[in-house]
């Protein structure tokens, strides 16, 4: 198995892929077809532009854009310049994006123009257009430049074309020297993930961790040269960026980025591009199977599916294998704090194991299930999942107390998830201590949503739980205590929420109550709320 010792860093991986796979298709985006050699050249040009614009080793560079060729090139260009990549969720509203930009002190931002009818530039201006900062967004004083990934940009921002032109004076020797100065222990990215405090925290992952983890992913999944990989999982998520872009670079697979999930587009892409690899949440595969016109598309090239992020029905695994004749269907479990991968099924595992568990610990890691005192429990008994190994983050970015709360002195990461290990070491996720729920593959954190809902002037108290949903798996339900004399309705609050937070966070139902059930310590007893649903 190739690993981090061969590549050393992500810049080493990009160079090796360009040399090894040369004329093979690297990225297909509509009529645009880019070979691995051309992708390497484009990334080198983006790296040169980053150097010309003052990006130094360790600077944070953010990207807020959907899955596109420009995302791949700009993100890899920044990382090859020694920057630490900070991907932003495309579902964020302006204030949510501004918080992560501020918290990470990002120096440069790559941003899409308009996506799904929303101007990201305008939403950022509303959130960070006022303040004392010297840059294009005064409310974000550390953000020196904003580059719009299009041919049009406001006067104080830059277009992607102009940004690239700025690097024309930087030669290959300089870009290569910068890449060679990046070690495996250097941070490669900071993935912001919310926790029980409701404030996003940035998990710091290194180049070596990324390379080793996704070399393992490639080996276990069986990704191979010549595969054609439809990447529907968002690039801002580890599943899309690392199990997608990084994995394809390792094996010479063709990346076919899809910016928005649409089952019709998936079917059309799979048929037209002879897609062989289609990872994603169970909802993606379920919608594919249930599409009324499925038989009109040639899906015969599909051979590999990797899923997770939710309970996977055994029937789904069986249907993928029998109806679509997909040879390999695997499930996995991971979290940002552990490089996105902790356990994974193996090829050849029985369908019940794949459907009922998330597989076994990946090589180089350990998984334990413990009780409240930290003592390991017997197989078959539930407890908190702990992880230790090369994949565990360095810590949360500039947040020692939060890091200490989840990382033990001997290297065990407290995941906050509850699970059960069987006698063979297969892990089954049963609950979430953090109360997180998953909406169509997106992690939703009640504490963060409650904090946002609490900003509404008519909300006195609020608690959010996840409830089952036939299409998305789970959605949010809010229990709200209104302020006296107000006439706030459920429709009012949901409409307000759609303006103030990412769509997957918006509660689908609201129930008004006189008070929330609390224990002696004042904490909301969410078990009582769940029992009401």
Q: Which two tokens stand for residue 48?
A: 């040169």
Q: Are 377 and 187 in contact (CB under 8 A)?
A: no
The 10s digit of each residue's pLDDT in 311-325 is 677 888 899 999 999
What is residue 451's predicted lDDT score, i.e. its pLDDT?
79
pLDDT of residue 170 exceeding 70: yes
What share of the chain in percent tops pLDDT 70? 96
- Three-class SS state of 167: coil
Asked if pLDDT for residue 134 goes beyond 90, the answer is no
- Give the integer Cα–Cα distance in Å for 176 and 81: 9
Question: Does an H or E element contain 52, and which?
Answer: helix 36-52
Confidence at residue 4, expressed as pLDDT on a 0 to 100 scale: 46
Separation of alpha carbons 415 and 195, rounded Å: 10
Architecture (CATH level 2) of domain 261-432: 3-Layer(aba) Sandwich (3.40)
Q: Alpha-carbon torsion 370, 396, 409, 215, what sign?
A: positive
- 491: CB partners within 8 A, 6+ apart: none
DSSP string, 487-531: ---HHHHHHHHHHHS-GGGS-SEEEE-SS--B-TTS-B-HHHHHH
The domain made up of 4-204 is a member of CATH 3.40.50.980? yes
Residue of 1 and 77 predicted with greater confidence:
77
Helix (H, G, I), strand (E, B) or coil at 374: coil
pLDDT confidence bin for 13, thresholds 50/70/90: very high
Return the pLDDT at 282.
84
Which range among 115-124, 231-240, 242-251 has the greatest average pLDDT?
242-251
Task: Say yes or no: do domains 4-204 and 261-432 share a fold.
Answer: yes
Query: Which residue intervals of 311-445 are DSSP H helices?
Result: 314-322, 351-356, 400-406
State the pLDDT confidence band at 435, using cuts at 50, 70 and 90: confident
CB atoms within 10 A of CB 295: 9
* Identity of the highest mean pLDDT range in 30-34, 121-125, 515-519, 524-528: 30-34
| Residue 82 falls in which region: left (phi positive, over 0), alpha (psi -120 to 50) or beta | left
Task: Name the residue ranges covered by the structural domains of the chain.
Answer: 4-204, 261-432, 437-532
User: How many CB atoms are located within 10 Å of the residue 408 CB?
Assistant: 12
pLDDT at 196 over 70: no
Rounded-to-integer distance, Cα 140 and Cα 111, Å: 15
Q: Are 190 and 204 in contact (CB under 8 A)?
A: yes
How many helices (H) and strands (E) are present in the chain, helices listed first? 19, 27
Per-residue pLDDT tens over the stretch 348-366:
999 889 988 999 999 999 9
What DSSP string runs through 227-267? -EEEE-S-TTSHHHIIIIIIHHHHHTPEEEE-SS--HHHHH
Spatial separation of the C-alpha atoms in residues 101 and 138, rounded to whole Å? 12
- pLDDT for 2 equals 46
Domain 437-532 part of CATH 3.40.50.2300: no
């Amino acid at each position: 198995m190739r690993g981090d010792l061969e590549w050393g860093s992500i810049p080493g991986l990009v160079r090796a892929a360009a040399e090894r796979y040369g004329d093979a298709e690297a990225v297909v985006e509509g009529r645009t077809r880019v070979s691995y050699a051309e992708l390497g050249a484009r990334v080198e040009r983006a790296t040169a532009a980053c150097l010309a614009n003052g990006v130094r080793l360790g600077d944070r560079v953010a990207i807020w854009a959907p899955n596109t060729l420009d995302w791949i090139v700009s993100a890899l260009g920044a990382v090859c310049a020694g920057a630490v990549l900070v991907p932003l969720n495309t579902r964020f509203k302006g204030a949510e994006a501004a918080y992560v930009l501020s918290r990470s002190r990002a120096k440069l931002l790559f941003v899409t123009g308009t996506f799904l009818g929303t101007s990201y530039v305008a939403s950022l201006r509303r959130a960070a257009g006022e303040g004392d900062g010297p840059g294009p967004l005064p409310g974000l004083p550390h953000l020196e430049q904003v580059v719009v990934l299009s041919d049009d940009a406001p006067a104080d921002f830059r277009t992607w074309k102009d940004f690239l032109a700025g690097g024309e004076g930087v030669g290959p020797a300089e870009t290569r020297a910068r890449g060679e100065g990046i070690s495996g222990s250097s941070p490669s990215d900071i993935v912001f993930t919310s926790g029980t405090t409701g404030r996003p925290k940035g998990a710091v992952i290194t180049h070596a961790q990324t390379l080793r983890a996704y070399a393992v992913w490639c080996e276990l999944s069986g990704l191979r040269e010549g595969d054609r990989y439809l990447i529907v999982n968002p690039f801002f998520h580890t599943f899309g960026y690392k199990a997608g872009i990084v994995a394809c670079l390792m094996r010479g697979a063709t990346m076919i980025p899809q910016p928005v999930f649409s089952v019709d587009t998936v079917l059309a892409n799979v048929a037209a591009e002879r897609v062989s690899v289609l990872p994603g949440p169970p909802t993606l595969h379920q919608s594919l199977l249930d599409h009324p016109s499925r038989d009109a598309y040639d899906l015969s090239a599909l051979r590999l599916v990797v899923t997770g992020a939710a309970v996977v029905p055994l029937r789904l695994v069986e249907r993928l294998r029998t109806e679509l004749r997909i040879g390999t269907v695997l499930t996995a479990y991971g979290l940002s704090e552990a490089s996105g991968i902790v356990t994974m099924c193996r090829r050849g595992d029985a369908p019940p194991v794949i459907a009922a568990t998330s597989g076994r610990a990946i090589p180089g890691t350990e998984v334990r299930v413990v009780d409240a005192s930290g003592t390991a429990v017997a197989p078959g008994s539930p407890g908190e999942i702990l992880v230790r190994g090369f994949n565990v983050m360095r810590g949360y970015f500039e947040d020692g107390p939060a890091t200490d709360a989840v990382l033990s002195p001997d290297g065990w990461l407290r995941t906050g998830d509850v699970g059960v290990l069987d006698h063979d070491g297969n892990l089954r996720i049963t609950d979430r201590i953090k109360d997180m729920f998953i909406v169509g593959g997106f992690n939703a954190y009640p504490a963060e949503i409650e904090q946002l809902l609490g900003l509404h002037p008519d909300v006195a108290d609020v608690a959010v739980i996840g409830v089952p949903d036939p299409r998305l798996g789970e959605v949010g339900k809010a229990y709200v205590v209104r302020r006296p004399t107000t006439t706030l309705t459920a429709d009012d609050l949901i409409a307000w929420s759609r303006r103030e937070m990412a769509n997957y966070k918006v509660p689908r139902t609201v129930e008004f109550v006189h008070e929330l059930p609390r224990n002696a310590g004042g904490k909301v007893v969410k078990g009582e709320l769940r029992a009401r649903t």
